[in-house]
Amino acid sequence: MEISLNKHSKNQASIKIKLIEADYQPKVDNKLKDYARKAVIRGFRPGKAPLSMVKNMYGTSLMVEEINTLLGESLNTYLKEQPFKVLGEPLPSEKESASIDWKTQREFEFEYSIGFVEAIKIELSSAIKGVRYSIKVDQKLIDETVDNLTSQYGESTNPELSEPGDFIYGDLNATSGDFSKTLSLDTTQLTKKLASKFMGIGKEAVVSFEAKEVKKEEWVAAFGLSEQEAKDQKSSFTFKVKNINRKAKASLNQKFFDKIFGPDQVNSVEAFQEKVMQTLEQNYDREAKVFTQEELKKVVLQAAALSLPDAFLKEWLLRANEGKVSIEDVEKEYPIYAKQLSWTLVANQIAKEHGLQAEHADVIEKTKEMIREQFASSGLGAQLEASMDMFVDNYLKGNEGQNYMNMMTSVQNEKVLTLVQEKIKMTEKKVTIDEFKELLEK
pLDDT at site 174: 93
Q: At 150, is the pLDDT very low, low, confident or very high (cuts 50, 70, 90)?
A: very high
Q: CA-to-CA distance for 66 and 63, rounded, in angstroms?
A: 5
Q: At 317, is the pLDDT very low, low, confident or very high (cuts 50, 70, 90)?
A: very high
CA torsion sign for 285, 286, 290, 291 is negative
pLDDT at site 240: 96
Q: At 392, is the pLDDT very low, low, confident or very high (cuts 50, 70, 90)?
A: very high
- SS3 track for the chain: CEEEEEECCCCEEEEEEEECHHHHHHHHHHHHHHHHHHCCCCCCCCCCCCHHHHHHHHHHHHHHHHHHHHHHHHHHHHHHCCCCEEEEEEEECHHHHHCCCCCCCCCEEEEEEEEEECCCCCCCCCCCEEEEEEECCCHHHHHHHHHHHHHHCCCEECCCCCCCCCEEEEEEEECCCCCEEEEEEEHHHCCHHHHHHHCCCCCCCEEEEEHHHCCHHHHHHCCCCCHHHHHHCCCEEEEEEEEEEEECCCCCCHHHHHHHHCCCCCCCHHHHHHHHHHHHHHHHHHHHHHHHHHHHHHHHHHHHCCCCCHHHHHHHHHHHCCCCCCHHHHHHHHHHHHHHHHHHHHHHHHHHHHCCCCCHHHHHHHHHHHHHHHCCCCCCHHHHHHCHHHHHHHHHHCHHHHHHHHHHHHHHHHHHHHHHHHHCEEEEEEECHHHHHHHHHC
Contact in structure between 174 and 233 (CB atoms under 8 Å): yes
**Which among 25-29, 258-262, 277-281, 419-423 has the top mean pLDDT?**
419-423
**Which among 55-59, 246-250, 292-296, 431-435 has the top mean pLDDT?**
292-296
Q: At 319, is the pLDDT very low, low, confident or very high (cuts 50, 70, 90)?
A: very high
pLDDT at site 381: 63
92 beta partners: 112
Would you call 104 exposed, middle or buried from its count of C-beta atoms within 10 A (0-12, 13-18, 19+)? exposed
Q: CA-to-CA distance for 262 and 275, rounded, in angstroms?
A: 12
Q: CA-to-CA distance for 197 and 366, rounded, in angstroms?
A: 57
The contacts of residue 355 (CB under 8 Å, 6+ apart) are none
pLDDT at site 34: 85
Share of the chain above pLDDT 90, in %: 70
pLDDT at site 76: 94
Comparing CA positions, the residue from 66, 75, 73 lying closest to residue 24 is 66
Contact in structure between 411 and 378 (CB atoms under 8 Å): no
Query: Could you give all domains of the chain from N- to C-terminal order, each with its CATH number?
Result: 2-117 (3.30.70.1050), 129-140+267-441 (1.10.3120), 156-247 (3.10.50)
Q: Could you report the per-residue pLDDT of 334-382, keeping only the tens digit for each?
A: 999 999 999 999 999 999 999 999 999 999 999 999 998 887 666 666 6
pLDDT at site 96: 67
Mean of pLDDT values over 231-256: 91
Q: Is the pLDDT score of 124 beyond 90?
A: yes
pLDDT at site 384: 79
Contact in structure between 204 and 162 (CB atoms under 8 Å): no
Q: Is the pLDDT score of 41 beyond 80?
A: no
